[in-house]
Structure formats: structure tokens, C-alpha cells
Amino acid sequence: MEIWINPACSKCRSALTLLDAEGADYTVRRYLEEVPSEDEIRDVLDRLGLEPWDITRTQEAVAGELGLRAWARDAASRERWIAALAGHPRLIQRPIITADDGTAVVARTDEAVRDALSR
């Protein structure tokens, strides 16, 4: 199990606390420092079953600079979104847990963390 976190994110700290409480075996990836490649983002999206715009933090300043709100959310634009996430990792929603069964969840609630643990 791997969890992508940003130390400035309270939900990430909560998720880690819950993983510890449950005795989970996991690896922490500080994704702002160890930035995921476009391939890794594609892989995580496949595991999540989501599109890149679904895990994009549009309240980030860089989202405004890029004008993300105006970007099309369709198959033709998918690679453009993925490139934005890889180029500006602060845009990536967090925490993301990749579960042992190969799936992944955006673990912003205790329920989502427990869901990942149960997989």
C-alpha cells in the first residue's frame, strides 16, 4: 500500500494516523518532492477509475494561472490535464492511497481510508 501525501494537508495527516491505528503496512510518498510522472498519473487514474479533472485541485493558484476551469473535460483533452498534473503536482488531490488489490482511492475521509484497508 502506498499513500501520496502533502505534509500541509490535514486530511493526509489524518489518513496516516488512521493507517497507523489500524496497523497498516504502507509507504509514504511526498509527491511534491517525488513528483509522479505522467505515466504514474495515468496508472493511478486507472486504479482510481477517475479522469484527471476529477483529482485536480482547482482552488490552487496555479489552476487559475493555467485557466483550468475553461479546459474541456473530454477524451481529447485528457493528456493535457495529465501533463498539467505532472507539471504542477500541487494540483493533485490528496491523499491518494493505492490499495493492495491494485485499486486506489482518494482518501479524504476515514471511511475512504478504511475502504482502502479493506481491499
For other proteins, the closer of residues 7 and 49 by Cβ is: 7
Closest CA to 45 of 104, 97, 95, 108: 104
For other proteins, the closer of residues 32 and 99 by Cβ is: 32
Provide the binding-site residues for other proteins, judged by CB under 8 A: 6-11, 13-14, 16-17, 20, 57, 59-62, 90
Minimum Å gap between C-beta 75 and other proteins is: 26
Minimum Å gap between C-beta 69 and other proteins is: 14
Minimum Å gap between C-beta 53 and other proteins is: 15
Q: Out of 1, 9, 35, 50, pick the active-site residue.
A: 9
Closest CA to 113 of 95, 93, 100: 95
Q: What CA–CA distance (Å, rounded) separates 1 from 4? A: 10
9 labelled catalytic: yes
For other proteins, the closer of residues 43 and 60 by Cβ is: 60
Measured from the Cβ of residue 56, the count of other Cβ atoms closer than 10 Å reads 21
Exposed e or buried b per residue across 91-116, where buried means at least 16 C-beta atoms within 10 angstroms of its C-beta: bbbbbbbbbeeeebbbbbeeebbeeb
- Which residues are tagged catalytic? 9
